[in-house]
Amino acid sequence: MKLTDVCVNLTNSQLRGDVEAVIQRAKAAGVERMLITATDIESTKAALLLCCGGQRYCTAGVHPHGASNYDKETITSLKKLVGKDDVRAVGETGLDFNRNFSPVDAQLAAFESQIEIAQACNKTLFVHDRESQGEVLRILKNATAKIPLPPVIIHCFTGSREELRQYLANDYYIGITGWIADTRRGAELREMVADIPLDRLLIETDAPFLRPHNVPKDFLQQHNLPATMKRRNEPALLPFVLAAIGACRNEALDEIAAATENNAARLFGFT
């Protein structure tokens, strides 16, 4: 089974010093392609250096956490960066009202600006929505009223059933992380993941965050993997996200894998 991890924070300090080994372990686990997600201009530039045609591509964008630093200079840099061939999506952008590391107004302005950039370059929009209470949807719909949107991914979906219904009604893609393997926090998601049509589903680790809870305790020992993997998530653990989705949907894993591969290829222009 070939898999694509559509969200790897490979430039994050937890993975940065270990990139080659992380990539090799991912390949050994069948994760042959990944989208390296950027969170600001610097990490976009760093992600570009880690791209490798056919295997690794990246996003260009500013995460809502960093929205307070989003200024005219950022816009100029982003407009240049999104033109690079290895950049296959604009983001992570969106809203995070769970942490509010940046003020709401700054988050809204940065999100709207990045939607415009995605519309202009017609690259997939990679959206982070954490407890936006419908604001992400409202802003996306406002933007569509003016110019059609490129394909939209709601990554690491953790919202309500109603939000899922509305996202799907607008034809957005839904990214599922290891959150699904958390029987407590992910209980609602585990029930509704079966409602996502296969042609709208994506799988992701969001590594080094959100280590799936269904990784067996002796997994590292069994596969002779380093202890560093005990603390963090890695793209090599993507098959556990797939397994949790398969169990919740009662569906064959190779079917889900094939569908999510097709979706990733279509969204990011993989050939």
- Of 47, 58, 114, nearest to 86 by C-alpha is 58
List the interface residues with Zn ion, window 118-137 (CB under 5 A): 128
Report the residue closest to Zn ion, judged by CB.
Answer: 128
Q: Confirm or reject binding of residue 65 to Zn ion (CB under 5 A).
A: no
Least distance in angstroms from the C-beta of 43 to Zn ion: 13
Nearest approach, Cβ of residue 233 and Zn ion (Å): 13
Q: How many residues bind Zn ion (CB under 5 A)?
A: 2
Task: State how far the Cα of 237 lies from the Cα of 183, in Å rounded to an integer.
Answer: 17
**DSSP 8-class letter at 138:** H
In the complex, the smallest distance separating the C-beta of residue 223 from Zn ion, rounded to whole angstroms, is 28
Q: Tell me 10's DSSP state.
A: T
We find the least distance from the C-beta atom of residue 106 to Zn ion, in angstroms, to be 17
Q: Give the separation between CA 219 and CA 217, rounded to whole angstroms.
A: 6
Residues 75-94 touching Zn ion, rule: CB under 5 A, are: 92
List the structure tokens of 246: 């398969």
Site for Zn ion in 238-257 (CB under 5 A): none
Angle between helices 72-81 and 41-50 (to 10 degrees): 20
Handedness of CA 218, 219, 224, 228 (dihedral sign): negative
Q: Which amino acid is at 261?
A: E
Q: Which is nearer to Zn ion, 38 or 242 (CB)?
A: 38
Closer CB to Zn ion, residue 40 or residue 225? 40
* Identity of the residue, 11 or 246, whose beta carbon is nearer to Zn ion in the bound complex: 11
Smallest separation (angstroms) from Zn ion to the CB of 191? 22
Q: Which is nearer to Zn ion, 57 or 157 (CB)?
A: 157
How far apart, in whole angstroms, are the C-alpha atoms of residue 90 and residue 30? 26
Choose between 128 and 190: whose C-beta lies nearer to Zn ion.
128
User: How many CB atoms lie under 10 A from the CB of residue 219?
Assistant: 14
**Chain residues in the site for Zn ion (CB under 5 A):** 92, 128
